[in-house]
Structure 1
Amino acid sequence: MADTDRVRWDQKYLGRTGGPPAVPQIFARYVDAIPADGQALELACGSGAATVWLARRGLSVWGVDVSPVAIEQAQELAHRLDVTDRCRFSVVDLDDGLPPGPPVDMILCHLFRDRRLYPAMVDRLVAGGLLAISVLSEVGAQPGFFRASAGELDDAFADLHVLAAGEGDGQAWLLARVKGERP
């Protein structure tokens, strides 16, 4: 990612306080599908609201984001809510791919899209692992560089067992499991 993009994201987070811990609204009605233990990875975690929510649920979570400002806010939120033992945060430029690490039980990717990462996301999940992904979409909105085309998530993750999915109002999302049983 260009330094100008990193600066732009830092500016977005400067002077803001992260919201309360919460699962992204698009996945709120599917909370029962989200594991309550194991390892999770959140891509583009921002100020850590979802990462901390997952940690409070019982997962050990690694949140990554390109913005050092956002990561500092995420660390402060985890400290304030006493889940630093289950949260780890790192500044990571996802243009370089997923950060190396062991397989995880869940990947959360909310409002970040990089088609090149789709295969790596699937490869990073354990058998039975859960992928929760939402992206901006052309469906119900104007086309654009950062927007998924109609059916993009369904096509990219066709080999997974889809629990729920949708497109509309400028957003596409998918909740799916890697086939097999969680160890």
Structure 2
Amino acid sequence: MSEDDRIRWDATYSSRRGPAGEPTPPPAFAAHTDAFPVRGTALDLACGQGLGSVWLARRGLDVWGIDVSAIAIEQATELAARCGVASRCRFDVVDLDDGLPPGPPVDVIVCHRFRDSRLDDTVVKRLAPGGLLAICVLSEVGAAPGRFRAAPGELVSAFTELDVLAAGEGDGEAWLLARLPGPAVSGR
């Protein structure tokens, strides 16, 4: 990511002054919360202010949230402390243009409003057997094409090795909830 992009994201999060309200799952997955485990580990890619990370931690997962914006990471860390789950959350500044940082397999990967198809294989390899991928991105479906928008059917096509639990496209958004075959984490 260019330094200009990093500066732009820091400015965006600075203007938001931290998340307000209760941490919740990304809206695309609100009707599917029962698919998310209540224990295990999670990786939140481009976690922003940490709403999804803290929601997962409150469910009982140990979460590593990463984002390119140091301001967003500060806000996510403060949110985790305010919600009493700081011990379950780790937040780091990571530029995903450099690839997914190394680490052990995880039970859940959440990616909300970030898309880099170069990471697709690495994301799948990072899932533990039975692991859940929850990805929601901007889409060309119901919106104008753009550099950061998924083409129609792109998410389902990109993750064919996963079992699709639910998926959708429309109103400029595409999302996929899918599981890597294998034994599921207990507590689902």
Normalising TM by the smaller chain, what interval?
Answer: over 0.9
3-state SS of 1:167 partner: strand
* Alignment match of 2:165 (pick from 163, 176, 179): 163
Between the aligned partners of 2:138 and 2:95, the Cα distance in structure 1 is 19
Runs of 4+ in 1 over 6 A off after TM superposition: none
Extract unaligned runs of 5+ from structure 1: none
Question: How far apart are 1:180 and its partner, in Å?
Answer: 1.1
What is the identity, as a one-letter code, of the residue corresponding to 2:31?
Answer: R
Gaps of 5+ in 2: none
Q: Which residue of 1 aligns with 2:89?
A: 87
* CA RMSD between the two structures: 0.8
Which residue pairs with 1:6 in the alignment?
A: 6
Please show how residues 30-41 of structure 1 align to structure 2 within 5 Å.
30-41=32-43
What is the SS of the residue equivalent to 1:14? Answer: helix
Taking the TM superposition and a 5 Å limit, the aligned residue runs for 1:34-53 are 34-53=36-55
From 66, 69, 94, give the equivalent of 1:67. Answer: 69
Q: Which amino acid aligns with 1:181?
A: P
The DSSP-based 3-state class of the residue aligned with 2:87 is coil
TM-score (norm 2): 0.95
Question: Does 2:22 correspond to 1:18?
Answer: no
Rounded to whole Å, the distance in 1 between the matches of 2:72 and 2:19 is 8
Say yes or no: does 1:141 pair with 2:143.
yes
Report deviation, 1:15: 3.7
> Within 1, Cα distance between the matches of 2:83 and 2:159?
34
Tell me the CA shift for residue 182 of structure 1: 2.7
Report percent identity of matched pairs.
64
- Paired with 1:60 and 1:159, the residues of 2 have a C-alpha distance of 25
